[in-house]
């Protein structure tokens, strides 16, 4: 009743009154673009095929469905996801109300996966080809052919690209936190780790494999509360700072304090909603601090998250520098083992590397074009010392820390190597120190546009 009275669902009329499209609200813009590509809608949203946009997909209002479909020859349901819940329910509603007409849905569209504009143009062409042969769809057919040709060309140009599993950026500040968690798990065992949406969920993949569950943006602590009573170890929740402000502060932290939870929350304070391209937050570092930091982290210039948590009543709160793996391990272990009963929050601080590189790269390019000296830090592996056991790779997962053939003809195991993309975050060195690995890692300074003094020192 509420849905109908407040007109949450919308009907958009069209000249082809014998046809209709029922679409999930979120797909409406894509549908209009697809209709425009087929020459059946203008740029302002006026289309030829009537549309019922379900801005509320559950529950359906039977009267709205029957009213929209009455007198139509055929209706297409556009529903992402599987199985086809909406289509099945509409079929039942129409059958019960004795509304005739053909119902289409997954027979025209693919069952699972995104409904992008290309998929929608294909599906709509199939539907309209059966029920509206008077419509000229040649524009859409030509467009689809072009798309296919572009794909073939792209396939020819990029035949040798390897599959690229999703993972943290090179030098990401969140990677070291998972290295620390992996190290501590060797001592105290693996706890249940709840994650939510954000870059940190890459930590659930190899080589870290730290996530047990993943719930919506900012929901990790709320979800950890559900497993807490069944868990022998303190559950750990990992939340990005974007998720913290979006949802986590109330549904996670406030609720945990109210219910006297005893878990551990790690807030990844990278300064932005990073996974979507670094949108700013309440706690983003101030502009002037970012300008000064350039390629370094400016995340410590803002303490809104710490202040908010303290104000809310969190008593156990620590802020760590993510890249100090030894320190992060120590604080994390303390949080897991302390006698303190109540929520323990670790603020894992390190500004998003993507954002830092966006500041750094143009500045370096400008400096180099003016012939000015620039020093870049890069890490490396001494191939003579490397034993080839690759424990560093299993603890880091950095895409620029990889393997190469062993230069020693008497040894067959490939050795570790750092390739040129390294941004010098220092995690390799920290890991080998914290985990007492081999002494193969070295820190190098690459001097570009060297001065006479640099050249003279290099000759010594």
What residues make contact with ligand SF4 under the rule CB under 6 A? 168-172, 174, 199, 270, 274-275, 352-354, 379, 396, 398, 400-401, 418, 422-428
Q: How far is the CB of 170 from ligand SF4 (least distance, A)?
A: 5
Q: What's the DSSP call for residue 413?
A: S
Q: Which is nearer to ligand SF4, 54 or 169 (CB)?
A: 169
Question: Cα(57)–Cα(25) distance, rounded to whole angstroms?
Answer: 8
Q: Which is nearer to ligand SF4, 62 or 426 (CB)?
A: 426
Question: Cα(247)–Cα(212) distance, rounded to whole angstroms?
Answer: 20
3-state secondary structure of 194: strand
Which of 56, 71, 54, 43 is closest to 12 using CA atoms?
Answer: 54
Q: Which is nearer to ligand SF4, 109 or 428 (CB)?
A: 428
| Structural contact between residues 414 and 387, judged by C-beta atoms closer than 8 angstroms | no
Question: Cα(204)–Cα(165) distance, rounded to whole angstroms?
Answer: 12
Q: How far is the CB of 296 from ligand SF4 (least distance, A)?
A: 14
| Structural contact between residues 42 and 14, judged by C-beta atoms closer than 8 angstroms | no
| Structural contact between residues 73 and 65, judged by C-beta atoms closer than 8 angstroms | no
| Structural contact between residues 170 and 423, judged by C-beta atoms closer than 8 angstroms | yes
> Could you tell me where the beta strands, DSSP code E, fall in 166-281?
193-195, 213-214, 236-240, 264-269, 272-273, 279-280
Q: Which is nearer to ligand SF4, 132 or 423 (CB)?
A: 423
Q: Which is nearer to ligand SF4, 141 or 209 (CB)?
A: 209
Q: How far is the CB of 145 from ligand SF4 (least distance, A)?
A: 36
| Structural contact between residues 286 and 301, judged by C-beta atoms closer than 8 angstroms | yes
Q: Which is nearer to ligand SF4, 86 or 199 (CB)?
A: 199
Q: How far is the CB of 330 from ligand SF4 (least distance, A)?
A: 20
SS3 readout for 268-327: EECCEEHHHCCEECCCCCCHHHHHHHCCCCCHHHCCHHHHHHHHHCCCEEEEEECCCHHH
Q: Which is nearer to ligand SF4, 37 or 432 (CB)?
A: 432
Q: How far is the CB of 359 from ligand SF4 (least distance, A)?
A: 13
**Burial class of residue 311 in the structure, from the number of CB atoms within 10 Å of its CB (0-12 exposed, 13-18 middle, 19+ buried):** exposed
Question: Cα(260)–Cα(264) distance, rounded to whole angstroms?
Answer: 12
Q: How far is the CB of 425 from ligand SF4 (least distance, A)?
A: 4
Q: How far is the CB of 208 from ligand SF4 (least distance, A)?
A: 13
Q: How far is the CB of 385 from ligand SF4 (least distance, A)?
A: 16
Q: Which is nearer to ligand SF4, 140 or 242 (CB)?
A: 242
């Amino acid at each position: 009743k509420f849905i109908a009275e407040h007109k949450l669902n919308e009907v958009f009329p069209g000249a082809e009154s014998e046809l209709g499209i029922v679409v999930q609200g979120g797909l409406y813009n894509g549908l209009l673009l697809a209709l425009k590509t087929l020459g059946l809608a203008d740029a302002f949203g006026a289309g030829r095929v009537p549309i019922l946009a379900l801005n509320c997909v559950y529950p359906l209002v039977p009267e709205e469905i029957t009213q929209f479909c009455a007198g139509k020859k055929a209706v297409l349901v556009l529903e992402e996801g599987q199985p086809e819940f909406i289509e099945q329910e509409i079929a039942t509603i129409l059958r019960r109300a004795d509304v005739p007409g053909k119902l289409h849905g997954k027979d025209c569209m693919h069952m699972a996966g995104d409904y992008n504009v290309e998929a929608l143009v294909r599906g709509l062409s199939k539907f309209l080809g059966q029920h509206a042969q008077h419509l000229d769809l040649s524009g859409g057919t030509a467009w689809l052919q072009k798309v296919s040709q572009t794909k073939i060309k792209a396939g020819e140009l990029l035949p040798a690209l390897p599959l690229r599993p999703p993972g943290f950026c090179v030098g990401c500040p969140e990677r070291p936190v998972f290295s620390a968690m992996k190290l501590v798990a060797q001592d105290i065992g693996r706890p249940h780790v709840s994650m939510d949406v954000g870059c940190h969920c890459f930590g659930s993949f190899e080589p870290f494999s730290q996530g047990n569950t993943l719930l919506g943006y900012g929901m990790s602590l709320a979800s950890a509360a559900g497993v807490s009573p069944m868990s022998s170890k303190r559950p750990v929740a990992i939340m990005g700072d974007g998720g913290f402000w979006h949802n986590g502060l109330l549904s996670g932290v406030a609720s945990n304090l109210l219910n006297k939870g005893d878990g551990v929350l790690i807030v990844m304070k990278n300064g932005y909603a990073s996974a979507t391209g670094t949108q700013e937050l309440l706690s983003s570092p101030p502009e002037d601090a970012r300008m000064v930091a350039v390629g370094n982290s400016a995340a410590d210039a803002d303490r809104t998250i710490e202040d908010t948590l303290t104000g809310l009543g969190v008593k156990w709160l620590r802020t760590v520098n993510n890249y100090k793996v030894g320190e992060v391990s120590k604080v994390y272990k303390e949080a897991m083992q302390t006698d303190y009963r109540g929520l323990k929050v670790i603020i894992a601080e390190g500004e998003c590397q993507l954002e830092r590189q966006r500041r750094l790269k143009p500045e370096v390019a400008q400096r180099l074009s003016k012939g000015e000296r620039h020093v870049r830090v890069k890490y490396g592996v001494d191939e003579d010392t490397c034993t080839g056991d690759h424990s560093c790779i299993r603890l880091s997962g950095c895409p620029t820390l990889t393997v190469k053939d062993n230069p020693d003809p008497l040894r067959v195991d490939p050795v570790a190597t750092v390739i040129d993309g390294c941004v010098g975050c220092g995690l390799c060195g920290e890991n080998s120190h914290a985990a007492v690995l081999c002494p193969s890692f070295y820190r190098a300074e690459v001097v570009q546009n060297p001065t006479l003094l640099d050249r003279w020192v290099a000759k010594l």
